[in-house]
Amino acid sequence: MKVTVSRKAHFNAAHRLYRPDWSFEKNDAVFGKCNNPNFHGHNYDLTVSVTGEIDPETGYVVDVKILKDFIKSEIEDAFDHKNLNVDVPEFKNLNPTAENIVVVIYDKLKAVLDSNLKLEVTLYETPRNFVTYSGL
Ligand code: NI
């Protein structure tokens, strides 16, 4: 019997979508307003879902306080009020699209969670645009 436990989180961050090996014109054609050289911000919302067996002793799949603390230390402290391109080492050479951000978030949380737990992360860049990664 497996149960999924989810926790929502939030961070604000700036980014710019571009490839330094492309001309400004090509970046503009592909990334549009997101290629603004002066960066722009998003209010990112996050849902972290953890699936596993219920521990018969505690009745928990995962202690939500521990999950909350991991999200804070690994994601919020690293990304909140940061410029993703400039301040976050994972994006030094990786375009900070929602797709790439959700994979980085997944990898950071996967590294600290119990390996028996299945992880899925959904990242909302806007209320209508969101991406999901579960390690596939
Ligand atoms: Ni953007």
Residues assigned a catalytic role: 34, 81, 125
How far does the centroid of ligand 1 lie from the alpha carbon of residue 73, in Å?
24
Q: What is the pLDDT of residues 70-96, one digit of tens each?
A: 999 999 999 999 999 999 999 999 999
CA 62 / ligand 1 centre spacing (Å):
33
Instruction: Please give the Cα distance from 20 to 92 (Å, whole number).
Output: 11
The pLDDT of residue 60 is 97
How far does residue 15's CA lie from ligand 1's centre (Å)? 6
CATH classification of 2-133, choosing from 3.30.565.10, 3.40.640.10, 3.30.479.10, 2.40.30.20?
3.30.479.10
135: left (phi over 0), alpha (psi -120 to 50) or beta: left
CB-proximal residues (5 Å) to ion ligand 1: 34
Laid out side by side, the sheet with 2-15 consists of 82-83, 2-15, 40-53, 118-124, 130-133
Ligand 1 centroid from CA 86, angstroms: 15
Q: What percent of the chain has pLDDT over 70?
A: 100
- Taking the model in full, what pTM does it have? 0.95
